[in-house]
Amino acid sequence: MIPLLSIIITNYGYGKYIRSAIDSALGVSYPHKEIIVVDDGSGDESPNIIRSFGDRITAILKENGGQASAANAGFFRSRGLLVLFLDSDDSVEPEIMDQVLPAFKQGVAKVQYPMHLIDKNGKSLGGMFPNYTASITAEMVASEFTRTGFYECSPTSGNIYARWFLEQIFPMPVRIAPGFDCFMNMAAPYYGQIISLLHPCARYRIHDKNSWAVDGLTRRLDPERFAFYVRDDLNRTVYSMSVADKLHKPFNYRTLDLQVHHMMRRVCYYRFARDKYPIAQDKIPAIAELAELTLDGDNRFNLLLRSFRAVIASPIMSAKAKLSICAWLCGVALLPNRWSFRLAEMRFVPQSRPKFVLKLLEHAGLRASMLPRSSNSTSPTQTRSRRARRASIKVRLASRSQSWPYTYSFFAVGAALVILGGVVLLALEIIGKA
């Protein structure tokens, strides 16, 4: 039996993008599908655009209640054994099910995939997100989740879920977070396998309203967002603890300290936003309590030590990537505010990076590939000839030989910053014992 695919589009105030999202869903080549569009009380032209599609879609127009409430309404109206939640500013590729359906086996809770990056006008930005590698196997995801309580996962539109899994966790909690994808993604490893594809199956739109680290008007780093996302990490952890408790499985909140991206955001939160946005005073008691347990003892030096441990312990990162992140952490934690903020801005606002920084990131393996990777299941049109592969290898080797000064200068600067950070921490340790 061929499973029915439910594409659920949740929308609030994205009238300029919603038509593109619906058109892409209708354009999916898989014939066994239903499209459900939930408008969460938009005050723009969205409801009229949704109505214009008539009976080709199932339209739900409701009062505003948040994205999670819209997802709940859409899910309980759907019938598909496979479910895709599509953000209304994103779009899906026509051949998505050619890639995803073969990956769904018994025991698979979700299949995740990278997405092509596009700008607000739908023009390709040349990269993709997340940048999965062939090493992200189901076993590695399970191991990383057990070790850190987290794993590399796609945003909302980058996942297709098994209905049997979603029925275990719906309805989504409405009041404790603006979104809902983090809850589904964090619950999935408790119930089944996570399969990661390499071929992009959707398009992720970058614009002012969804670039979380960037102020929509100035296009500069917004320090308040570090408070928002550290709080979101804590919120996600609270939810994971509740799922683990429900299934009688162990969970240690201290795994937060082993999450590299969380520690990077946490260092920035401590430097730029902690005093102005105290998470330990959050109105939700569980988040406030966890913040008190995890954040109250933070200072720039013990944060740096714990961040180093998280980076070094990561089994996924290359040595170059680890050195790069350690150097960045040293700079953000120890440099004067102006320089520290500039380093943070270059990390979280890609538009602010000078060309030489992009070059260094590329050599460290931290810059997203500008070319789509091949998928797990290749077709004749996707398979390159042997001659083309050899030519590609020659080009890459020539490029590396010409840019060796960047690589060595990068390692020199990174090593110097790491050594400086270690010396400072050692000196403070000695002073503290004196």
Question: What is residue 254's predicted lDDT score, i.e. its pLDDT?
Answer: 86
Compute the distance between CA of residue 273 and CA of residue 57 in angstroms, rounded to an integer: 44
Question: What is residue 380's predicted lDDT score, i.e. its pLDDT?
Answer: 36
38 pairs with which residues across the strands?
10, 60
Compute the distance between CA of residue 388 and CA of residue 383 in angstroms, rounded to an integer: 10
7 pairs with which residues across the strands?
35, 84
Question: What is residue 174's predicted lDDT score, i.e. its pLDDT?
Answer: 79
Question: What is residue 127's predicted lDDT score, i.e. its pLDDT?
Answer: 83
Question: What is residue 168's predicted lDDT score, i.e. its pLDDT?
Answer: 96
Question: What is residue 283's predicted lDDT score, i.e. its pLDDT?
Answer: 85
Residue 329: pLDDT band with limits 50, 70, 90? very high
Output DSSP code: residue 372: P
Question: What is residue 389's predicted lDDT score, i.e. its pLDDT?
Answer: 46
Task: Give tens-digit pLDDT for 129-182.
Answer: 887 876 689 999 999 999 999 998 999 999 999 999 999 999 988 765 557 888
**CA-CA-CA-CA dihedral for 332, 338, 343, 349, to nearest 10:** 130
CA-derived radius of gyration, the chain: 23
* CA distance readout (Å), 344 to 68, 209, 219, 330: 31, 20, 14, 11
CA 391: distance to chain centroid?
34
In the chain, pLDDT over 70 holds for what percent of residues? 77
Least Cα distance to 6 among 29, 31, 26, 35 occurs for 35
Question: What is residue 275's predicted lDDT score, i.e. its pLDDT?
Answer: 85
Q: What is the mean pLDDT of the chain?
A: 82
Decide if 4 contacts 33 (C-beta within 8 A): yes
Residue 394: pLDDT band with limits 50, 70, 90? very low
Question: What is residue 317's predicted lDDT score, i.e. its pLDDT?
Answer: 83
Mean pLDDT throughout 381-406?
Answer: 44
Question: What is residue 382's predicted lDDT score, i.e. its pLDDT?
Answer: 38
Task: Give tens-digit pLDDT for 220-234.
Answer: 678 888 898 899 899
Question: What is residue 89's predicted lDDT score, i.e. its pLDDT?
Answer: 95
Range among 9-13, 142-146, 236-240, 339-343 with highest mean pLDDT value: 9-13
Question: What is residue 201's predicted lDDT score, i.e. its pLDDT?
Answer: 97
In this predicted model, which residue has the larger pLDDT, 136 or 330? Answer: 330
Task: Give tens-digit pLDDT for 339-383.
Answer: 899 888 888 876 666 776 666 666 555 554 333 333 333 333 333
Mean pLDDT throughout 35-54?
Answer: 97
In the chain, pLDDT over 90 holds for what percent of residues? 54
In this predicted model, which residue has the larger pLDDT, 432 or 379? Answer: 432
Compute the distance between CA of residue 25 and CA of residue 6 in angstroms, rounded to an integer: 10
pLDDT > 70? residue 420? no
Residue 432: pLDDT band with limits 50, 70, 90? very low
DSSP string, 281-315: G-SSHHHHHHHHHHHTT--HHHHHHHHHHHHHH-S
Question: What is residue 425's predicted lDDT score, i.e. its pLDDT?
Answer: 54
pLDDT > 90? residue 243? yes
- Amino acid (1-letter code) at residue 294: T
Compute the distance between CA of residue 388 and CA of residue 358 in angstroms, rounded to an integer: 26
Question: What is residue 229's predicted lDDT score, i.e. its pLDDT?
Answer: 85
Q: Locate tokens 């936003």: which residue?
A: 273
Beta strands in 155-309 (DSSP E): 159-162, 193-196, 202-205
pLDDT > 50? residue 401? no
Question: What is residue 422's predicted lDDT score, i.e. its pLDDT?
Answer: 55
Q: Where do the domains of the chain lie, and which CATH numbers do they carry? A: 5-205 (3.90.550.10), 224-376+401-433 (no CATH)
112 pairs with which residues across the strands?
159, 196
Residue 213: pLDDT band with limits 50, 70, 90? low
Ordered alpha helix ranges (H), 27-137: 46-51, 67-77, 96-100
**CA-CA-CA-CA dihedral for 177, 179, 180, 183, to nearest 10:** -50
